[in-house]
Amino acid sequence: MTALLRVESLTKQFPGVLALDNVSLDVDAGEVHVLLGENGAGKSTLIKMLAGLYLPSSGRILLGGEEMSFAAPRDARAAGISTVFQELSLVPTLTVAENLFLGRLPSARGIVARRRLRDMARAALDRIGADIPLGAKVSSLPRSAQQLVEIAKGLLGEARLLILDEPTASLGDRESERLLELVRTLSGQGLGIIYITHRMREISQIGHRVTVLRDGRLIDTVPADTGEDRLVELMTGRALEDLYPSLPRTPGAELLTLHDVTGPELHGISLSVRAGEIVGVAGLLGSGKSSVGRTCFGLDPLHSGRIEVQGKPLKQLAPAAAITRGIVYYPSDRRHQGLALCRPLFANITLGSLRHAKASTFGLVNRRRERSVATSYVERLSIRPGDIGRRTELFSGGNQQKAVLARGLIHGTQVHIFDEPTVGIDVSAKADVYRVMSELAAAGKAVLLISSDLPEVLGMSDRVYVLHEGHVVSHLTGDEITESAVLSTFFGEASTTTPGGPSA
């Protein structure tokens, strides 16, 4: 069977940029074929060639087995390829009906033409189940309705292939659902659809196959039920083990030191974290590792022993005092990490920190300043979507975690204690968290990484303490940090390595 669309070795060379490099793929009638790739991967370039906006540098486009050559968008449309770009092409001051038939108004004159126009417009909207008044000015419609008009317009004539470039990017949840439903219906009618999206969830909902592009090259075409982790791996080119950045760092003075710390779950723990260092704490459930972080932050009681920050004892053990002394703690349970979920994101990012610092004037929080500080951190941490006014609960777990991170970064803190920082978040959010940790250490901060995720501890740490039943059972440095070395002491067996003290 001939594919509806066949793209053969398509290449587009711009001056100095090879935007698309020898890409081949095909789309069947009735198929929803997802194009996936990071920004700059070449998705738009590919569809612009299919839409007749760019001429290929080389390669072939076949539609229904016939080679096409599009000198202009009108040629592609005439051949049956309709493209809905992110920037809509409607004229805001014209009505829905006028927009639908812009450039192809019925040729007959007077009243007859007008009635025909209306009937045809009605039929076009009915086809996609859109209930939109024909006489309404496009500028008066919400974005979702404008998009439907654009799609209806694209389906006029003999469309065989519909290309949608991130159609849900600017839609709310309910409108997105409806759009996905429409895509399903249209593919059910035999239309071939190329669908570009960044929303991973949509892929398994409507897609049949996914083609992944990276740096202008085709990486693979895989079934749409391929797992999200794998898709991210294909998209980013990072194997899961390569998630851990290695920025150069030089350990300096001890910033956090625990001397013989004893509490309900800890029995004489001594450890240290230097400036410019990531120190891992590993151990099984019940090893007491979480209590290390909680004790430093004043959330678990200290029975005896001493905690020092920059060589000076922490006298008062409470979160507020710890923050004042330059410790920030990121707890594992994000629902309990002090996010006000019903408040907008920026309020959580700047919470409490700006009253006396960056965004305040005369003791009042300066709203605009607060927002601009929040925005800069949203960009730095790639929080998605980047809408700081959106309610915090609407963000994914990974993005909520990043909001907590942003809050810690605004404090300009010296000591960063992470407890299970990546539990339950997706791969790309993990990569962001690791990047930030790595940047913190490179900037001379002390990072304590308490984690049950062994690959993460092995991949990120300069030194590792392994805890068992409240004791440090081994202390590993550099090349000693291997999976077998950590595992061999997980259950408390005697280790060949000496348990490390603060200055080990």
- Would you say 197 or 413 has its CB closer to ligand ADP? 197
- Would you say 42 or 288 has its CB closer to ligand ADP? 42
CA atoms within 13 A on the CB side of 213: 30
Q: Is 294 exposed, middle or buried (0-12, 13-18, 19+ CB in 10 A)?
A: buried
Q: Is the dihedral of CA 168, 170, 174, 175 positive or negative?
A: negative
Chain centroid to CA 175 = 21
17 binds, among ligand ADP, Mg ion, none (CB under 5 to 8 A by kind): ligand ADP
User: Are 17 and 215 spatial neighbours (Cβ–Cβ below 8 Å)?
Assistant: no
179 binds, among Mg ion, ligand ADP, none (CB under 5 to 8 A by kind): none
Binding string, residues 378-417; x marks residues near ligand ADP by CB under 6 A: ----------------------------------------
Minimum CB distance to Mg ion, residue 43 (Å): 5
40 binds, among ligand ADP, Mg ion, none (CB under 5 to 8 A by kind): ligand ADP
Distance CA 41, CA 18 (A): 10
Distance CA 165, CA 19 (A): 17
Q: If you search the block for the tokens 């294909």, which residue do you land on?
A: 234
Helix ranges (DSSP H) in 18-139: 43-50, 73-79, 96-100, 110-127
- Would you say 235 or 406 has its CB closer to ligand ADP? 235
Q: Which residue is nearest to Mg ion (CB)?
A: 44
Site for Mg ion in 11-50 (CB under 5 A): 44
246 binds, among Mg ion, ligand ADP, none (CB under 5 to 8 A by kind): none
Minimum CB distance to ligand ADP, residue 219 (Å): 12
The DSSP code for 336 is G
Contact between 19 and ligand ADP per CB under 6 A: yes
Minimum CB distance to ligand ADP, residue 91 (Å): 24
470 binds, among ligand ADP, Mg ion, none (CB under 5 to 8 A by kind): none
- Would you say 39 or 246 has its CB closer to ligand ADP? 39
Minimum CB distance to ligand ADP, residue 210 (Å): 14
- Would you say 39 or 484 has its CB closer to ligand ADP? 39
Helix (H) or strand (E) holding 205: helix 200-206
- Would you say 44 or 350 has its CB closer to Mg ion? 44
Minimum CB distance to ligand ADP, residue 40 (Å): 4
42 binds, among ligand ADP, Mg ion, none (CB under 5 to 8 A by kind): ligand ADP
Minimum CB distance to Mg ion, residue 93 (Å): 28
Distance CA 339, CA 19 (A): 42
Q: In DSSP terms, which residues pair with 295 in a beta bridge?
A: none
Q: If you search the block for the tokens 């009681």, which residue do you land on?
A: 301
Site for Mg ion in 95-134 (CB under 5 A): none
Minimum CB distance to ligand ADP, residue 75 (Å): 19
96 binds, among Mg ion, ligand ADP, none (CB under 5 to 8 A by kind): none
* Distance (Å) of CA 178 to CA 181, 320, 371: 5, 47, 33
Site stretch for ligand ADP (CB under 6 A), options 35-43, 177-185, 234-242, 349-357: 35-43
Pick from 300, 327, 301, 298: which is nearest to 312 by CA? 327
Three-state secondary-structure class, residue 270: strand
Site for ligand ADP in 40-69 (CB under 6 A): 40-45
Distance CA 317, CA 54 (A): 64
Residue type, 480: E
Site stretch for ligand ADP (CB under 6 A), options 11-19, 152-160, 371-379, 464-472: 11-19
Minimum CB distance to Mg ion, residue 85 (Å): 9
Contact between 17 and ligand ADP per CB under 6 A: yes
Q: Could you tell me where the beta strands, DSSP code E, fall in 275-424?
A: 277-283, 304-309, 312-313, 327-330, 360-361, 364-365, 415-419
- b/e map 127-163, b = 16+ CB within 10 Å: bbebebebeeebeebeebbbbbbbbbbbbbeebbbbb
Helix (H) or strand (E) holding 428: helix 427-442
- State the residues that interact with Mg ion by CB under 5 A: 44
- State the residues that interact with ligand ADP by CB under 6 A: 14, 17, 19, 37, 39-45
